[in-house]
Amino acid sequence: MDGGRTKRAALDAVTMAHGGGGRAMRRLIDEIIVPAFDNPLLAELEDQARIAIADLARAGDRLAFTTDSYVVTPLEFAGGDIGKLAVCGTINDLAVSGAKPLFLSCGLVIEEGLDLAVLSRIVGTMAKAAREAGVAIVTGDTKVVQRGAADRLFINTSGIGVVPIGLSISAARAQPGDVVIVNGSLGDHGVAILLARNELALSAEIATDCQPLHDLVATLLAACPDVHCLRDATRGGVATVLNEFAERSRASIRVDEAALPVKDVVRGACEILGLDPLYLANEGKLVAIVPRSHARVALEAMRSHPSGSDAAIIGEVIDAARPQVVMRTAFGGERMVDLLSGEQLPRIC
């Protein structure tokens, strides 16, 4: 196997030469990256993208700026790949402030030996995701490291967006009486990745929920401008986001287990593996806390959008002495929903 791999690597894989700053690197950038991302700011090929402040100021009064690194394995999985994740994830970090996402950077750390076809495919999905979301990838960097120094491909994206005047969404604004809404089924991404790793000899039809959420957020804010809290529920799932809200707002949040939207396949995988969908990762799900008076209109607005058709009210902020998240179990009991300790590990018996 190794012999074949080495031979093929010599022909159509990334080598250290591609990171050397010379011709090979130039070719990689000119032939794969720039044509895919294709936009005037990037095409200038300066060391930085230059963005007119006046253009930004027209969209709002504050800049939103965020960064995230993506190290998912495997690189490609049902419904997406690391590239789509790197674009949507950073867009979503901007979107949950209410910002309109505008520009992204793209830093690639490539392990030598990565198949150029794989790289090209992933850069292609990044470009497509950015185009569909209406953002431009305007600056970037490419590094190649020796075998073993990275796992095939890591991507960092930073993003800039503009927050419209008047919005003040914050994790610290949850108040007793508010309701908690999610935009759809929980845990799809976590289970899709778990199954894609092929370690479990389980197979099921489940794709990542990876999607950009800024348009859904705009729809929600148009219907309910006074959204109190908004976060996308990625690593650590909805349970983690709710704990952050409870902690920052010094409020108790109660979740109704029977109201949680969870697909049968995800429930099944959780049953078998001893996982809890409330802690599973999502890549296209947000948690919103809105005033009770606007609960219905917020829910209907989300349901009217393709990214929120399965939106549901899953709980409420209750008046209680200490910041905590509790769950009314479908069985009729009540328990705490704590932050996760370490990874979510399957039980052994």
| Interface residues toward another protein, by CB under 8 A | 199-200, 202-204, 264-265, 267-268, 271, 274, 322, 324, 326-327, 329-336, 338, 341-343, 345-349
Of 226 and 276, the one with the shorter C-beta distance to another protein is 276
**Of residues 172 and 330, the one with the C-beta less far from another protein:** 330
Residue 41 corresponds to which tokens in the numbers above? 């700011």
Residue owning tokens 């300066």: 46
Q: Other CB atoms closer than 10 Å to residue 167's CB: what's the count?
A: 18
Alpha carbons 42 and 37: distance in angstroms, whole number = 8
Q: What DSSP line would sit under 295-308, residue for residue?
A: HHHHHHHHHTSGGG
Shortest spacing between CB 334 and another protein, in angstroms: 5
Shorter beta-carbon distance to another protein: residue 2 or 271: 271
CA distance 223 to 165: 16
Q: How far is the CB of 206 from another protein (least distance, A)?
A: 9
Q: How far is the CB of 325 from another protein (least distance, A)?
A: 9
Smallest gap from residue 249 Cβ to another protein (A):
16
Q: How far is the CB of 203 from another protein (least distance, A)?
A: 6
Distance CA 335, CA 332 (A): 10
As beta bridge partners, residue 256 has: 328
Residue with Cβ nearer another protein (142 or 249) = 249
Which residue number, 47 or 199, has a Cβ lying nearer to another protein?
A: 199
For 27-63, the DSSP string reads: HHIIIIIHHHH--HHHHT--SS----HHHHHTT-SEE
How many whole angstroms separate alpha carbon 98 and alpha carbon 208? 24
Strand partners, 62: 163
Comparison of 75 and 206: residue with beta carbon closer to another protein: 206
Between 53 and 341, whose beta carbon lies closer to another protein? 341
Residue the block writes with tokens 């197979």: 203
| Closest to 212 (Cα-Cα) out of 307, 332, 71 | 307
Closest of 155, 69, 43, 72 to residue 107, by C-alpha = 155
At its nearest, how many Å lie between another protein and the CB of residue 12? 27
Burial of 128 (0-12, 13-18, 19+ CB in 10 A): middle
Instruction: State the minimum distance, in angstroms, from the CB of residue 268 to another protein.
Output: 4
